């Protein structure tokens, strides 16, 4: 199944639990995303300074609302907890689908203490009716709740403590513009550099009390992790088991290669599903262009699943081209897979504007 892969960027609740111990506890321990970390450090420092300058200790300064968007597995939840710990406040976690009705939101908001963080994962899945309640809560820390119906209908205003909403989404394009405009800080999380992943792996290996890791061995794991810390930590656990059974716990480049080859993960982090997707376009459809539905039918997979979980990484590393006429395998993919080169006349020319600016 394309959704149940060792290189899947999403995690099951059991894996989330295992990863808990590997998470950075403070902003100093957080590796990668340097621009975001700098923006956060400034915003947090400014809030603390304003708070310290206040005479009354009754009211509390709060950090602006933050929207984090980007692919899964890059640590949006981790960041929310790190921000909470930096502010010295509690983090309340929920998700768009869990807030099905306005009353669910009221229950969450009334539990907040001044300055707390409310983390809403998958915020793009918040029902429209609930979104309407979120706006006044974000702006004025109050919500108007309608009680009863018909002649007895009345509205009561419920106040909540000033808080910071951290919204996370993999699909920023699905957020309504009124929602997007209510965040003071918006940041796109990028895939991690390989050296940052090595750093994360070294930290995780030490937390997992793993034995000796040869320096280049962690680089081998990082290069197969698709720029994603969650995948890196998952592969590290597989390598740890393999090394403990086959090599007295010593993690060498050779052991990483053997362990991950056994899992079907190649040097660039492609698995058998990626390879059979590319092989199908190459051999059944002569390199493309071919429609997604046709590839999905040949592979007996759901087209939406291919589009959401297989294609993004292949597009990102330049192994797949999405042209107006359909999907095409690229020359780089053929070289990596040891496949015959595709007919160069088929390669899509980069789109150039005509004199009128129309194509």
How would DSSP label each residue in 171-189? -GGGS-HHHHTT-SEEEEP
Q: How far is the CB of 129 from ligand ADE (least distance, A)?
A: 35
Is residue 31 part of the contact set for ligand ADE (CB under 6 A)?
A: yes
32 vs 288 by CB, closer to ligand ADE: 32
- Rounded distance between C-alpha atoms, residue 198 and residue 280, angstroms: 33
Residues across the chain: 359
Tokens of 146: 């309608």
Site string for ligand ADE, 142-181 (x = CB under 6 A): ----------------------------------------
Q: Is 122 helix (H, G, I), strand (E, B) or coil?
A: coil
| Catalytic choice (89, 169, 170, 330) | 170
φ/ψ of 161, rounded to 5, equals: -70, 150
Q: Which stretch binds ligand ADE (CB under 6 A): 17-25, 175-183, 240-248, 299-307?
A: 17-25
Give the per-residue contact string, 303-322, with ligand ADE (x = CB under 6 A; - = no).
--------------------
Give yes or no: 103 in active site.
no
In terms of Cα–Cα distance, which of 62, 64, 65, 95 is closest to 169? 95
Can you tell me the distance from the alpha carbon of 225 to that of 228, in angstroms, rounded to the nearest whole number?
6
Strand partners, 295: none
95: β partners: 121
Contact region for ligand ADE (CB under 6 A) — 7-15, 30-38, 314-322, 328-336? 30-38
Nearest partner of 219 among 232, 230, 238, judged by Cα: 232
Answer for which of 40, 60, 78, 179 binds ligand ADE (CB under 6 A) is 78
Q: Residue 316: how many CB atoms within 10 A of its CB? A: 13
Q: The tokens of 114 are what?
A: 């001044």
Q: Which is nearer to ligand ADE, 71 or 75 (CB)?
A: 75
Residue in 121, 196, 271, 274 annotated catalytic: 121
Provide the 10 A C-beta neighbour count for residue 301.
19
Q: Mask: binding to ligand ADE, 229-268, rule CB under 6 A, as x and -? A: x---------------------------------------
Q: Is 70 in the site for ligand ADE (CB under 6 A)?
A: no
* Per-residue interface string for the shown chain with ligand ADE, residues 84-123, x marking contact by CB under 6 A: ----------------------------------------
Q: Is 121 a catalytic residue?
A: yes
The reply to whether 170 belongs to the active site is yes
Query: What is the DSSP secondary structure assignment for residue 101, as one 8-state letter?
Result: S
Kindly state whether residue 24 participates in binding ligand ADE, applying the rule CB under 6 A.
yes
Task: Find, among 326, 342, 343, 331, the residue nearest to 289 by Cα.
Answer: 326
Catalytic-role residue among 76, 224, 234, 240: 76
Q: Cβ contacts of residue 60 below 8 Å, gap of 6+?
A: 51, 114, 115, 161, 162
Q: Which stretch binds ligand ADE (CB under 6 A): 16-24, 165-173, 181-189, 299-307?
A: 16-24
Q: Output the smallest distance, CB 354 to ligand ADE, in A.
A: 45
191 part of the interface to ligand ADE, by CB under 6 A: no
Candidates 63, 109, 200, 205; binder of ligand ADE (CB under 6 A) is 200
* 76 in catalytic set: yes
Smallest gap from residue 29 Cβ to ligand ADE (A): 6
Binding status of residue 75 toward ligand ADE by CB under 6 A: yes
The per-residue b/e assignment along 52-84, b for 16 or more CB within 10 angstroms, e otherwise, is eeeeeeeebbbbebbbbbbbbbbbbbbbbbbbb
| Interface pick for ligand ADE out of 11, 30, 134, 314 (rule CB under 6 A) | 30
Q: Which of 274, 190, 260 is nearest to 225 (CA)?
A: 260
**Residue ranges binding ligand ADE (CB under 6 A):** 22-24, 29-32, 75, 78, 200, 203, 229
């Amino acid at each position: 199944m394309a959704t149940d892969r060792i290189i899947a960027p999403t995690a099951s609740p059991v894996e989330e639990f295992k990863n808990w111990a590997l998470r950075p506890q403070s902003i100093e321990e957080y590796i990668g995303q340097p621009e975001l970390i700098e923006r956060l450090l400034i915003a947090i420092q400014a809030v603390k300074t304003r708070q310290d300058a206040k005479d009354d200790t009754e009211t509390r300064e709060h950090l602006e609302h933050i929207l984090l968007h980007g692919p899964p597995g890059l640590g949006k939840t981790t960041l929310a907890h790190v921000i909470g710990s930096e502010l010295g406040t509690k983090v309340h976690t929920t998700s768009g689908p869990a807030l099905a009705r306005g009353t669910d939101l009221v229950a969450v908001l009334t539990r907040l203490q001044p300055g707390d963080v409310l983390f809403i994962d998958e915020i793009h899945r918040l029902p429209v009716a609930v979104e309407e309640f979120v706006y006044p809560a974000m702006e004025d820390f109050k919500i108007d709740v309608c009680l009863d119906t018909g002649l007895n209908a009345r509205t009561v205003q419920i106040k909540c403590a000033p808080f910071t909403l951290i919204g996370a989404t993999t699909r920023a394009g699905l957020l309504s513009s009124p929602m997007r405009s209510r965040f003071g800080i918006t940041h796109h999380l990028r895939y991690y550099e390989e050296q940052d992943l090595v750093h994360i792996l070294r930290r995780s290996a030490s937390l997992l009390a793993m034995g000796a890791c040869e320096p280049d061995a962690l680089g081998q794991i990082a290069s197969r992790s698709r720029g994603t810390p969650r995948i890196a930590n998952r592969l590290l656990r597989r390598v740890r088991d393999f090394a403990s059974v086959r090599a007295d716990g010593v993690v060498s480049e050779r052991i990483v290669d053997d362990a991950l080859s056994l899992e079907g993960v190649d040097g660039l982090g492609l698995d058998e599903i990626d390879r059979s997707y590319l092989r199908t376009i190459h051999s059944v459809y002569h390199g493309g262009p071919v429609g997604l539905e046709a590839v999905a039918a040949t592979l007996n997979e759901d087209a939406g699943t291919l589009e959401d979980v297989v294609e993004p990484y292949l597009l990102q590393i330049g192994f797949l081209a999405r042209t107006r006429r359909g999907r095409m395998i690229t020359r780089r993919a053929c070289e990596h897979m040891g496949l015959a080169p595709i007919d160069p006349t088929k390669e899509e020319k980069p789109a150039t504007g005509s004199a009128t600016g129309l194509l």
